[in-house]
A and B are shown apart, each in its own frame.
Chain A
Amino acid sequence: DSGVTQTPKHLITATGQRVTLRCSPRSGDLSVYWYQQSLDQGLQFLIQYYNGEERAKGNILERFSAQQFPDLHSELNLSSLELGDSALYFCASSVDRLEDEQFFGPGTRLTVL
């Protein structure tokens, strides 16, 4: 158990809908990272937050957004969902943005029908 929690574990929704994925980092970790893992694209970095502020952006679509709250938990919002958004979404956390090891959560499996 990495200490990172993600909810929900599974999510099934329809095209055009909006969903919110939630992540609670390990106690004491200030950085949160979001990743998407799909069969065709592999594991891709989406976005990083450090202590409430956006620090780095990767291959995140404009339909997707994220935020980190004062209690350090983070939410990833996915809107206008398409079939191709079906994937595993992982959250990871680390102590701070220069600390190397990122601890991954168990992931949220999103299925868009």
Chain B
Amino acid sequence: QQQVKQSPQSLIVQKGGISIINCAYENTAFDYFPWYQQFPGKGPALLIAIRPDVSEKKEGRFTISFNKSAKQFSLHIMDSQPGDSATYFCAASINNNDMRFGAGTRLTVKP
């Protein structure tokens, strides 16, 4: 049963543009919301994560915005680069157990 809904399925952005990926969750008990980046042939790698007691977290060009009341969170990639082209997964878990993943967004950054 999917508890994390991710959109869009695919995204094409010009180099230097902003990439935005959205996720919505159902279970209010979730307390950890990571974003993973996956390149073809590789395992997912943690990009950035947030807990529900903060509304925003920024690491370099990557920002998570979190809206607890709306049960939504999003990933913003500023100044997108061709090297950012990958599949991005949002996820949610309780105490890092039983991680529930979104369906993934395939991002293509055109030079």
Interface residues of A (CB under 8 A from B): 2, 4, 33, 35, 42-45, 48, 55-58, 90, 92, 94, 97-107
Contacts and interface: CB of A to CB of B under 8 A. Distances in A.
B35 to A, nearest CB: 12
Nearest to B51: A100
Contact of A100 (B49, B98, B101, B104): B49
Contacts of A57: 98
B43 A106 contact: yes
A44 to B, nearest CB: 7
B95 A97 contact: yes
Interface size, B (range)? 20 to 34
Contact of B99 (A2, A45, A97, A105): A45
Contacts of A105: 43
Q: Is the interface of B mostly helix, strand, loop or mixed?
A: strand
Contact of A44 (B42, B49, B101): B101
Nearest to A106: B43
A44 B41 CA distance: 17
A32 B43 CA distance: 15
B104 A43 contact: yes
A90 B46 CA distance: 14
A101 to B, nearest CB: 5
Contacts of B103: 42
Contact of A43 (B45, B95, B101): B101
A90 B44 contact: yes
B106 interface: no
B96 interface: yes
Interface in B52-111: 89, 95-104
